[in-house]
Chain A
Amino acid sequence: MAEVHIIGQILKAVDFAEPHLYCKWSVQSGNAWRLVQGEVQGQTHVSSHRLENSSDFAQPLDIHLSTAAVQGWPRLLVEVFAVNILQQSWPVGYGFAHIPASPGGHRLEINTWKVAPCGWWESVRERFGGGGAALSKTDLLYSGVERYKLQTRSSGKIIVDLNLIFRKFEDYGVEFK
């Protein structure tokens, strides 16, 4: 069994239109992967910044995975939610990125998008009401079949710092190049 150690943190969210944000994160992987220790999903606190258009999370990540194959490489999925005065929250960003495939330190910038309103009334409600639409099935994020029919709108970015340790991959002939 080869092992992967993912150690890092979710730094912050930038370039979002809404001020008060929090982030739900999770690590998705294939069938050959198994969690040895750590948490594979979590949720950050609500954060906002008065001067800059950003929200600082500083959520730590510490995951230990073991694998029997290189298929199904793990991916980091982030969902950014906005909170209004009425304590209502709605998603304002979806994004995911592959975990880097080489050891060492990495900084990831995950571009996020959100579901676009369909008509005039939805856009008015989104602006004055309780927020926009959300995906009912999150598997659409992974499959690429006819995804162009899904209309999205660009959102901000999530910046993540990761440090990766790979173990016993050389024994099975795996090379990171």
Chain B
Amino acid sequence: MKRTGIYRIIGSMADFQLDIKLRHMSEWLPVPKFEYNGANPHAPHSDHYPVISPSPSPRQENGDNGDGQDNWSDCFIYVPYSDEFSYGMQGYYNYYNPGSGYPTSRASIGSNRAASSNSNSSNLSQRNSRKIKGRSRQPGDSTSVFSSQMEQVHEETEEEATGEDEQQELEEEQDQQPQSYRMDELKSNTTPQGANEVFYNLNKELCNGATANLRIGWQQKHFSRSELQRYGDPRNCFTPLQRRYHRWTQDIIELQQRHELAHSQAHEEPLEIRVRRKPRKSKRRRNAQATPTSSLSENAGLSSLPMSQISVQTIEDPNFAARTCLIHTLIDADGEEALPEEAHQLHAEGFQLMYVYAELQADTLLLTLKYSPSLGLLYVYPDFNFSADDLDYMIKINRDNDCSQLYAYGFQNVNPLESEFGSSTAVTTTTTTTTTTSSQQDDNLDVDLELPSDASTGRLIDHHQQQRDWANELRSLLHFELPPKRMRRISLMFELSEAQDFENANIHVRYYIQPPDNTILDSTNVEEPFPLRGATATCLQAGDQRLAHLSHCWQLNLLCEEQHNPEHLLHIYFEVISIDSWQRERCEGYAHYAFSLVTPLPLNPLAIRLQCMRPLGTWLDDMNRYFIGGRKLFDFVGYFNPNNLRLKGGLHNRLNADISQAMRSTGFLMLRLQKLQQRQPAEQQLNELLESDSETAEMGKASTLDEVMAAYTEARDRVELLLGRQ
């Protein structure tokens, strides 16, 4: 029916806190008084089933009879003590009930058992002696009260756990009675009074209505009374753990001593009462128990005294549970010897264990905690998530398992409602922690998943590639030498290849270049300091009918300014001179060629044939030319100027008598010309073709800029997204 509580814990187990609240059953059970009074006539049976009110069955009666016989034999051991009590107080007890002396011997039995709990041999010897004497005393008188005592003893010897539970329940039931005077008077005369006094002496606060509150952390050590005695003696402490326990036990002992001092002061008034009954006091002091005195005073009918005691004790010592060792724990550090048998197997499985006990009449296991670090699970046996107010519910527990007494007692003594709140709080905290942790994990996963995505990687690669391309393009543009602003570079390559059909051989050619206006000579070539003029090599034995290979090449670089007029032409003049073996120079002819720098040259020009001519001269000039040599000063620049021709009235013809303008044709020159133009890349051109070229370039640049801006925008958005998430 009921399941154990299993909780998943995420976090540190050291933060675990367990709140235990222990109350007396009378303060908790909502049982009406009249019902409880009805159970009184069935006292012998209520010892076995304190919560249930069933009718007695024949089998139980038979079993009780058998047990009674055995228990009776055990009671016979303490006959001498009863003789003492009967001798000292025979008059008092004989007046009400002659058998009331046995409870005192019962108390002594309990103390002896506790003292000898560590030695098994002594227990065996005691049991043997009990049996022998019992048989001899079997014919003695027996009453219902004696039979009940025998039954308790029998259960205690056979099954310690079950017996302990029953006795504890019985004691609790009896402890409830002192609250009503009628019940107190009746019970004070019954035999179980001794057990009641023992429990009351050890747990005064609990019996008087106080609640034992104790907060236990994970693997936190709380001592039991036996452990307190063991570790209180330094001679029994060897290991560091035991020495530590010794120091802790000293604190508890100190607390107990302080409490005893306070208690003795509070009991000044009872001392006066004790004076009247000195004989009883002296005998009880021998037993080292002061509780009977206080109980007797209560029985005397002094109601004010117990109330004052209760209030004083409650106020002075609210944390009595730790002082009186009411609740204690067993942890893994105590070793497997002290832990239950199952601990060995659980440790092998990797569990951490902690047992919580309540020492009422005997150690009662309240709670078993198992924690598996690997699985992160906490097991709680039993589970207090449900309320135990319903008595029928506990009946079901009895049917399901064999630990009915243990569970029934556990539910009666631990307040499920309050512990449930504590556990629920812990669960809530755990859930919150789990939620927080899971949310953090989710955030981490989201961040990790987005960073290495393929799309972003491709995008980043494209962006970087575009940046590199743009940088390369800029570098390339800056590297190539461009003409100055608003200028155009013209590169001319001349080649003078052949010459032929002159009168004399041994010819060479001299050339003069006249650039147009608004042009600057780009003198970057150091090899040619005077690029505007030059001469070819002299070709011997050639130039007349034999072909003269001149093969002279040179390059000219000019810069045209913005104001350059295409109509202005570049003029180049050639002068052919021959030198004979006698070093006589003769002018063989003049040639001229002009072209525009901006206008394109004709397509596929193989070569330009230049016809040479020289002035005719008179017969005297011919004679000088043949015999002496030399050349007449002739203004060939002015002659080839079109303006001069217009001024002088045109060319010379044979009808004209003036011989000064007459010219004579001679050989020819072969000239080859090549031209390169370089303008500003983004400069606007007049020609439609040039405009289309520039437009294409501008469009290309615009597209490139658009791509760069798009990549920049994408990168910026991505960076903002990442920063926003972080």
Mark A residues whose CB is within 8 Å of B: 1-2, 30, 32, 68-73, 75, 94-98, 100-102, 109-113, 116, 139, 142-155, 157, 168, 170-177
Contacts and interface: CB of A to CB of B under 8 A. Distances in A.
Given A68-B481, A144-B534, A148-B536, A73 B510 contact: no
Among A69, A143, A144, A176, the most chain B Cβ lie within 10 Å of the Cβ of: A144
Contact of A148 (B497, B510, B674): B510
Interface stretch (B235-243, B436-444, B522-530): B522-530
A172 B549 contact: no
A172 B681 contact: yes
Interface stretch (B116-124, B315-323, B397-405, B550-558): B550-558
A22 to B, nearest CB: 19
B528 A144 contact: yes
B542 interface: yes
B40 interface: no
Given A69-B480, A111-B497, A154-B549, A174 B537 contact: no
Given A70-B678, A143-B528, A153 B601 contact: no
A68 B552 contact: no
Contacts of A69: 480-481
A143 B534 CA distance: 9
A94 B551 CA distance: 9
B498 interface: yes
B497 to A, nearest CB: 5
Contacts of A70: 489, 491, 557, 676, 678
A144 B532 CA distance: 10
A150 B498 contact: no
B693 interface: yes
Interface string B461-492: 00000000000000011011111000001010
A32 B600 CA distance: 25
A154 B683 contact: no
A36 to B, nearest CB: 14
Contacts of B497: 109, 111
Nearest to A155: B549
Given A70-B491, A175-B676, A177-B675, A146 B535 contact: yes
B480 A110 contact: no
Contacts of B480: 1-2, 68-69, 172
B540 A152 contact: yes
Contacts of A32: 481
Nearest to B607: A109
B679 interface: yes
Contact of A98 (B481, B540, B553): B553
A168 B477 CA distance: 10
B447 interface: no
Contacts of B600: 177
B541 interface: yes
Contact of A173 (B482, B530, B540): B482
B415 to A, nearest CB: 93
Given A1-B479, A144-B528, A173-B680, A113 B537 contact: yes
Interface string B601-640: 1000000000000000000000000000000000000000
A72 B553 contact: no
Contacts of B489: 70
Among A30, A102, A152, A155, the most chain B Cβ lie within 10 Å of the Cβ of: A152
A118 to B, nearest CB: 10
Given A153-B542, A154-B549, A72 B680 contact: no
Interface in B501-538: 508, 510, 522, 524-525, 527-530, 534-538
Contacts of B554: 144
A71 B542 contact: no
B676 A101 contact: yes
Nearest to A78: B551
Contacts of A110: 551
A146 B477 CA distance: 40
16 contacts: A70-B678, A72-B525, A73-B491, A97-B495, A101-B674, A109-B497, A111-B551, A113-B551, A142-B527, A143-B528, A145-B529, A154-B546, A154-B549, A155-B549, A171-B681, A177-B677
Contacts of A95: 549, 551
B183 interface: no
Nearest to B522: A71
Contacts of B557: 70-71
Interface string B149-167: 0000000000000000000
Interface in B695-726: 697
Contacts of A116: 540-541
B684 to A, nearest CB: 12
Contacts of A146: 535
B535 A144 contact: yes
A96 B677 contact: no
Contact of A1 (B476, B547, B549, B550): B476
A102 B536 contact: no
A151 B537 contact: yes
Contact of B527 (A96, A143, A148): A143
A174 B678 contact: yes
Contacts of B527: 139, 142-143
Contacts of A174: 676-678
Given A1-B479, A144-B528, A173 B679 contact: yes
A2 B538 CA distance: 38
Interface in B377-436: none
A69 B480 CA distance: 6
B538 A172 contact: no
B676 A173 contact: no
Contacts of B528: 143-145
Nearest to B557: A71
B472 to A, nearest CB: 10
Contacts of A173: 482-483, 678-681, 683
A110 B672 CA distance: 12
Nearest to B601: A177
A92 to B, nearest CB: 12
Contacts of A112: 549, 551
A172 B491 CA distance: 14
Closest 3 CB pairs of A and B: A144-B534, A111-B549, A177-B600
B359 to A, nearest CB: 98
Nearest to B508: A148
A75 B600 CA distance: 23
B493 interface: yes
Contact of A144 (B536, B539, B683): B536
A96 B550 CA distance: 10
B548 interface: yes
Interface in B656-680: 674-680
Given A71-B524, A176-B676, A177-B675, A153 B555 contact: no
Contact of A71 (B495, B525, B693): B525
Nearest to B681: A173
Contacts of A113: 537, 539, 549-551
